[in-house]
Amino acid sequence: MTDDRAFDEATGALRAELLAHCYHMLGSATDAEDVLQDVYLRAWRSFARFEGRSSVRTWMYTIATNTCLSALEGRSRRPLPTGLGAPASDPREPVIANADIAWLQPLPDGALGDPAAHVTARESIGLAMVAAMQDLPPRQRAVLIMRDVLAFSAAETADMLTMSVAAANSALARARATVGDRTPRQGRRVAELTERDRRVWDRFCHAFARHDIPGVVEVLAADAIWEMPPYPEWYTGAENIGVLSLTQCPAAAAGDLKMIATAANGQPAAAMYLRDGDVWRPFQFDVLTIVDGRIDHVGAFFEPELFRMAGLPEVI
């Protein structure tokens, strides 16, 4: 019979980093939450048989990784619009959502608990890297994360995945080659932002709140990219993004949007609320990549669940 208190004491502190791990494997914050429940149920059922031949952390990561691999069976990769291979779109053309694609999601830092800084710094992977890893077969993805993110040894990784050390090393080499070829520039983490970066983040939020489209354009890099699943279109160039914001966003005047600065994948983010009568409701969750004092990429997501996971209000 499982001692619930002993189980909680042994595994409770691992929950945040295991959520991050499941997210990195699955590319979906909401799926990661669901799978993590299964991970803890499996661990609880087998805790009485845990013999301590590895650390509890290694044991839990073994369960989590293999539960994620099972969840990924038969599933297609989770892309961002730029990963579909289509050219950039005309911002004047209407956008049409494609709900048939299982899109990549960000992981709000707030989902990792309070305080989350130590987990975010050690475990969080930027949105671009998570997107690049979606092109890897699941077991290669697992090896890459376990070796390069979690710093498990080749022998530990092989044991956890029931494969030889040679096979684990080969999978790691292939994964590194694939991801290295496809990862775009990484922006600064929130903890690494300069004062200039923070001003750009603040100006982005205030410009949208004031419906100041030229102000939005001003903080974007000249070749910035904007993508917003579930819409498969994507856009490049600060001026084009300005046109998109002016013609496609339902906000029409100052005050139609309220913005809350937040974080996801360790990166600066902005939660956008849209006026609905006398209140503002979750509309768009923007993850920002800031490079050289300009916003280089915006991933805009429309799932209200991301606001909940970030610990943000349902209505303001």
The domain segmentation of the chain, as residue ranges, is 4-182, 190-309
Q: Output 246 or 186, whichever has higher pLDDT.
A: 246
Q: What is the pLDDT of residues 236-292, one digit of tens each?
A: 999 999 999 999 999 999 999 999 999 999 999 999 999 999 999 999 999 999 999
Greatest Cα pair distance in the chain: 64
The CATH fold of domain 190-309: Nuclear Transport Factor 2; Chain: A, (3.10.450)
Find, among 261, 254, 243, the residue nearest to 200 by Cα: 261
Structure confidence at residue 240 (pLDDT):
97
Classify domain 4-182 by CATH number.
1.20.140.160
Residue 27, Ramachandran bin (φ over 0: left; ψ between -120 and 50: alpha; else beta): left
- Check: CB of residue 282 under 8 Å from CB of residue 122: no
* The model's pTM: 0.92
Q: What mean pLDDT comes out for the span 286-311?
A: 96
Structure confidence at residue 121 (pLDDT):
45
Assess whether the region 4-182 and the region 190-309 belong to the same CATH fold: no
Q: What is the pLDDT of residues 30-66, one digit of tens each?
A: 999 999 999 999 999 988 888 777 789 999 999 999 9
Q: State the pLDDT confidence band at 220, using cuts at 50, 70 and 90.
A: very high
Our CA angle for 62, 37, 73, nearest 5°, is 60
Structure confidence at residue 120 (pLDDT):
52
Find, among 191, 212, 209, 205, the residue nearest to 265 by Cα: 191
